[in-house]
Structure 1
Amino acid sequence: MRTMRRPRAVSLDDRLEALAEAVELAEGRLDPAAVARARAVVDRAGVRRGLSVDHTVVALAGATGSGKSSLFNALSGTSLSPVGVTRPTTSTAQAAMWDPEGSAGLLDWLEVPRRHEVESGPDALSGLVLLDLPDHDSIELAHRLEVDRLVAVVDLLVWVLDPQKYADAAVHERYLRRLSRHQDVMVIVLNQADRLSPAAADRCLSDLRRLLEEDGLSRVPVLATSVTTRAGVDELRTTLAKRVADRRSWSARLAADVGAAADVLANAGGADTTSPEAREVLALPDGPRVKDAGELSKELTGQVRPLTAALAEAAGVPVVVAAVAKAHRHRAVTATGWPVTRWVRRLRPDPLRRLRLGGPTGQTPALTSIPRADIVQRSRMDLAIRDTGAAASAGLAEPWATAVRHSARSHADELADRLDRAVATTTAGAGRRPRWWRVAGVLQWLLFAAMVAGALWLAGLFFVDYLRLPEVPTPTVGDLPLPTTILAGAALAGLLVALLCRVAAAIGARRRARKTRRALTTAIEAVAHDLVLTPAQEELSRAHRFDTLLATARG
């Protein structure tokens, strides 16, 4: 039987580092608001860790009339905060500090100007910074903005509710439901419990726990307090004392912020934001939603051939291959043809030179004369690129699928020039002359020289006979004079050699065309990889890395 081990918890440093990298990867791809929120969490975490970690900032937040300020006074043993019933009396946050040494920088960062020192007693509250926040439902916009700002940064949140408005949608929908990641840094207080009978208080607490469970806050401790009767106040002080003595609320808050920011990024990236607990209950599979790089490469491999074929057609590869074959035959005739007629071939244009191709190896023109792709060829190329992007992004959630498709088309403007350079570079040296051409050319000139010698010999014999000079003895080959034999034989041999060379040139032209086609296909495929497949693969890897980082950041 194999023992199942619980996965090792990810450290806060690792989660912050993962979130920071995920933010960089998401830049320009996901919702800017989500990226900015995650970046703010990373920046805020860096600042908070540099401030006092021996102090725990606890904020009392609540609605108008919830008794929040009264509870603040009861916990601090002072009358620092004015108490009202129906109108908000707290306009700006104020702090009560136990052991204030070293907390100034922290409060400066929190922008809390009103600060009061409280003598530390035997209740182990040394290191506590207690904030009394304005009412979150205040009619003053500035009050609500101040609450929002401090709720986002304090170490521990104590939500003070009252029996009349504990189910108010304003607190549940605007705050509590959005803080489901922050259960470990929250305490819920049902204040003014003295206004209820014991049975009514129990029913109220039960209903409050039900609402909190619907908000995703089933683990948050819920306390009933009454400042008037002091019921529950000491229990709340004890709870705060434990949190302060633990000295880990600040890191738990940062961890919750990182998880929440990662959830926002995941939601912006179309990922499943279901919590680990819910995944376990629903029996959902774990792991990233994006396939690994090996699987992605296999999917893209299937797009190489159709993409390369479309790019090759747009680059004029069929035209170039045909020109290579024609140029080979053309140059073979000018090099090995019968000297009497080969000059006629020189009057014809060279097919490769007309396209500004086939120069010496290492020397490529800045721009070839290959006909530009027509509208049909461009449409096929664009369709092949879109198909590649669609295949690469299959199964991805938006907007990563959009980013992958865009990356596949991101270098479309460069394709024409790169394809042209690839063709020019690959065909450099395609006009190289085989060595046998030189041998055949020398043989043709020797045969031509023999033919000329035979013709001159016959001309001399004709001249002697014309002048009635004594007959010159002339060797014969059978019944034919030797000069006639040489003349006719050299001419026939020259024509035969030219014919054989043409046959050999045709075979060589087909072989060179096939070799050129393979080389051009390889070069075009390299361009396809550089400008289409590689950008898509990089974006896919980026999406996979982003998903892996989010899994780490979410803990």
Structure 2
Amino acid sequence: MTAVTDHTGHAEHPQGEPSDRVVLVAGKRPERERRGTAPCEQPAATHEGDDGEHAREGRRADRTSVKGEAGAQDDADADTGARDGSAAVCSAAGPPQVRAQDDDLHACVERDGLADGTETGTGWDDGLIARRLPETAAAHEVAVIVGPRGTAVRQPEPLAYDGPLRSRLDALRELVGLSRTRLDGDTLAEAGRVLDEATTRRRLSGEHTVVAVAGATGSGKSMLFNALAGVAISETGVRRPTTAAPIACSWSDGAAGLIDRLGIPGRLRRRPVQNADGESRLDGLVLIDLPDHDSAVVQHREQVDRILELVDAIIWVVDPEKYADAVLHERYLRPLAGHAEVMFVVLNQVDRLPGEAADHVLDDLRRLLDGDGIALGEYGEPGATVLALSALTGEGMGELREALGQFVAERGAAARRVSADVDAAAVRLRPVYAAGQRMGLSEEAREEFAGRLADAVGATAAGEAAERAWLRNANRACGTPWLRLWRWCRDRRAPTTGRLPVPAPVDEEATARQRVEQAVRTVADRAAGGLPAPWAQAVREAAVRGAQELPEALDELAVRAATPPERPPRPGWWPASVLAQASMTFFQVIGVLWLLGQVVGFMPANLGVPMLLMAVGVIGGPAIEWSCRMAARAPARRYGLEAERRLREAAAGCGRARVLDPVAAELLRYQEVREQYAKVTGAGAGARVG
């Protein structure tokens, strides 16, 4: 049930029926004032014609139930009013006629820690400030409205984000997931906090806007808070700090979850004095009065910093003396420059400035805000709202109420705050995602790496050895038999030392390993060039891990390359040259036998023919051998190049599998996170970051 408090302080039902009015007066216990007699004030038994005894027993039973309930619940959820974000509205269980009794009301107030000027379950004794007002403050009495039993309270709709904001949050979540193994927890902490808070805020009411009133000591923020609420809720005075804990004031029901999220207990939740106009303009507003952000008490500053991260909007209250305070601008306004659309900057106490001084101070304040990077919402542009007013005299309060009412009615502050938080998180993450230049491995760098590995494995030397081996085989196959016999005899007469084949010297092996390590470092540096430090380090580590067994693998390739094949391929002219060499040898043999036959008289004397045959054989054999050697150069060169190519490809494949592929995987991961970062910043997936 909603009641309206008139100018005399009487509470009336919407139906116009009189009811009990319970007020909190300074220094007094809650008292009841009766205006006439209404059916709702009579016990149920009286309406049924009973003598009232059963009603009295029912009241005693209900009082016992209420007091027991009060002892069982704590300050955070002491009553339905606390759950609805207002400790001043007590909705006790029981019939209306019982809840209207003095004792029941006293139990309800005690449950909120307001009876007899004491508080329950807390060491802070500022409780309900309204009870400390002087008697002349009757116009600011806080009405404690008691609703009927079983009244259904409509749950507010949860907050809904639009498509672009959801896409940005999904991209930020994907970004954090892809980066957990590459970046430290401190770097991703702010992004994780933004995601958690965005998820939590989405589950809560989208019909309410939580606005914090923040300011320095003596700026008058609590007075402004009271002026907006229409009742003295937050204590004001010369004692510093005055506000020791945040106080919540909700203009409508259903904000309990939002206030619980801020950690404000039920005893510090209030409801304003509402009239028809104020209720319609500020419906959905949840106003939070914060401690001084420059308080000498560390706990106060910690509370301010914590709640400022959770509210939907902020009203910064400055005064003519501290509006240029370096702490305010450097610690709060400048870091929150991206949140200009959810910020109000109010120059309070303008009644202290004579003549046009207020305009000059307001212009200087705008200049300072512009220097902080805060966009000002002037001429219809999105940005912070800057106003000048006096909470004491009421000057400019109407303009603030109108601007705040329009701001709350739009119901877009929560989404804009989350969007600004995402922007701030993206700015913090920019150094670890934005590349300074074109990244990746060029084809030239890959070829250079393969060439370095080929040199380390001796691909060129292996090709030359294969070429020489092919030439030797050709010479042996196409050479004269007498030359081959001489070479065989020479090899047989060569003294044997009995030594085993000498392996490669140790210094040569060390040089080859150093070449491999140098090649890996070079390609890793080129791949990491221009990358942010964490990703550059990840690329180098991937290259080093892959290169741990690379020298051994290259050695195996070199051993296999050093082993010649069983039979090198032969060109088509090879058999013809072998046949021609055999023919030359045959001519020599026939000429010699012919001459011997003539010597022994077996054949008639004729020196011309055998000498001719011998000359053809002797001259033709070396000529064929020389011709074959000339003809074998090109095939031998091709054979050597092919052997070198195979070894180079094998070395390049080994290096690619062990070094380049892991490096490429890291670069691909960075490409993915960079695309997600582009989505987070709103630049789109195809945008280039950096």
TM-score (norm 1): 0.71
The one-letter amino acid paired with 1:199 is: E
The one-letter amino acid paired with 1:553 is: V
Q: CA deviation at 1:424?
A: 6.4
Query: Residues 421 and 94 (structure 1 numbering): CA distance in 2 closer, same or farther, change over 3 Å?
Result: farther
Query: Residues 322 and 502 (structure 1 numbering): CA distance in 2 closer, same or farther, change over 3 Å?
Result: same
Q: Distance in 2 between matches of 1:24 and 1:409?
A: 23
Match of 2:417 among 239, 243, 253: 253
Secondary structure in 2 matching 1:178: coil
Q: CA deviation at 1:374?
A: 4.2
Query: Residues 184 and 497 (structure 1 numbering): CA distance in 2 closer, same or farther, change over 3 Å?
Result: same
1:210 corresponds to 2:362 = no
Could you give the per-residue CA deviations for residues 502-542 of structure 1, whole angstroms, max 9, x where no partner exists? 87777654332111112222333344544555555555555
CA contact (8 A) 1:19 1:550 kept: yes
Identity %: 38
Deviates further, 374-383 or 63-72: 374-383
Residue in structure 2 matched with residue 310 of structure 1 by the alignment: 452
Secondary structure in 1 matching 2:210: strand
Residue in structure 2 matched with residue 470 of structure 1 by the alignment: none
Could you give the per-residue CA deviations for residues 331-375 of structure 1, whole angstroms, max 9, x where no partner exists? 778989969789889999xxxxx99xxxxxxxxxxxx99988545
Residue in structure 1 matched with residue 651 of structure 2 by the alignment: 524
After TM superposition, where is structure 1 displaced by more than 6 Å over at least 4 residues in a row?
A: 330-348, 368-372, 424-429, 435-444, 474-480, 489-506
Residue in structure 1 matched with residue 533 of structure 2 by the alignment: 399
Could you give the per-residue CA deviations for residues 79-125 of structure 1, whole angstroms, max 9, x where no partner exists? 33222324123333232222232x33333333232452526643332
CA contact (8 A) 2:227 2:391 kept: yes
Q: How does 1:323-362 map to 2 (within 5 A)?
A: 323-328=465-470
Could you give the per-residue CA deviations for residues 468-497 of structure 1, whole angstroms, max 9, x where no partner exists? xxxxxx9999899x9xxxxxx999999999
CA contact (8 A) 1:336 1:440 kept: no
Q: Distance in 1 between matches of 2:345 and 2:469?
A: 88
Residue in structure 2 matched with residue 84 of structure 1 by the alignment: 237
Match of 1:416 among 539, 543, 551: 551
Residue in structure 2 matched with residue 241 of structure 1 by the alignment: 405
Deviates further, 489-498 or 331-340: 489-498
CA contact (8 A) 2:224 2:391 kept: yes
Residue in structure 1 matched with residue 253 of structure 2 by the alignment: 100
CA contact (8 A) 1:290 1:543 kept: no
CA contact (8 A) 1:61 1:135 kept: yes
Could you give the per-residue CA deviations for residues 368-398 of structure 1, whole angstroms, max 9, x where no partner exists? 999885454455554554444555555x365
Residue in structure 1 matched with residue 157 of structure 2 by the alignment: none
Query: Residues 94 and 420 (structure 1 numbering): CA distance in 2 closer, same or farther, change over 3 Å?
Result: farther
The one-letter amino acid paired with 1:43 is: D
Q: CA deviation at 1:174?
A: 0.3
Q: Distance in 2 between matches of 1:544 and 1:290?
A: 13
Q: CA deviation at 1:223?
A: 1.6
Deviates further, 43-52 or 139-148: 43-52
Q: Distance in 1 between matches of 2:487 and 2:624?
A: 13
Query: Residues 245 and 421 (structure 1 numbering): CA distance in 2 closer, same or farther, change over 3 Å?
Result: farther
Residue in structure 2 matched with residue 194 of structure 1 by the alignment: 351
Q: Quick check: which has more Rg, 1 or 2?
A: 2
Residue in structure 2 matched with residue 41 of structure 1 by the alignment: 194
1:157 corresponds to 2:306 = no
Q: CA deviation at 1:155?
A: 0.7
Q: CA deviation at 1:190?
A: 1.6
Unaligned ranges ≥5, structure 2: 1-161, 377-383, 495-499, 594-601, 611-615, 683-690
The one-letter amino acid paired with 2:342 is: V
Query: Residues 374 and 245 (structure 1 numbering): CA distance in 2 closer, same or farther, change over 3 Å?
Result: same
Q: Distance in 2 between matches of 1:265 and 1:550?
A: 9
Query: Residues 81 and 522 (structure 1 numbering): CA distance in 2 closer, same or farther, change over 3 Å?
Result: same
CA contact (8 A) 2:478 2:625 kept: yes
Q: Distance in 1 between matches of 2:605 and 2:270?
A: 135
Q: How does 1:384-533 map to 2 (within 5 A)?
A: 384-392=519-527, 396=530, 398-399=532-533, 402-403=536-537, 406=540, 409-410=543-544, 411-420=546-555, 430-434=565-569, 508-533=635-660
Q: CA deviation at 1:32?
A: 5.3
Deviates further, 333-342 or 59-68: 333-342
Deviates further, 169-178 or 50-59: 50-59
Match of 1:553 among 680, 683, 686: 680
The one-letter amino acid paired with 1:113 is: P
Q: Distance in 2 between matches of 1:86 and 1:134?
A: 13
1:135 corresponds to 2:292 = yes
The one-letter amino acid paired with 2:212 is: A
Residue in structure 2 matched with residue 71 of structure 1 by the alignment: 224
Q: Distance in 1 between matches of 2:491 and 2:453?
A: 34
Could you give the per-residue CA deviations for residues 161-211 of structure 1, whole angstroms, max 9, x where no partner exists? 122211111111000011110000100112222222242222221221111
Query: Residues 370 and 514 (structure 1 numbering): CA distance in 2 closer, same or farther, change over 3 Å?
Result: farther
The one-letter amino acid paired with 1:109 is: R
CA contact (8 A) 1:190 1:225 kept: yes
Matched residue pairs, number? 496
Match of 1:169 among 285, 301, 326: 326
Residue in structure 2 matched with residue 14 of structure 1 by the alignment: 167
The one-letter amino acid paired with 1:263 is: V
Query: Residues 320 and 193 (structure 1 numbering): CA distance in 2 closer, same or farther, change over 3 Å?
Result: same
Query: Residues 380 and 50 (structure 1 numbering): CA distance in 2 closer, same or farther, change over 3 Å?
Result: same
The one-letter amino acid paired with 1:320 is: A
The one-letter amino acid paired with 1:516 is: A
Unaligned ranges ≥5, structure 1: 1-8, 272-288, 349-353, 356-367, 458-473, 483-488
Q: CA deviation at 1:64?
A: 1.8
Q: Distance in 1 between matches of 2:356 and 2:507?
A: 87
Residue in structure 1 matched with residue 113 of structure 2 by the alignment: none
Residue in structure 2 matched with residue 282 of structure 1 by the alignment: none
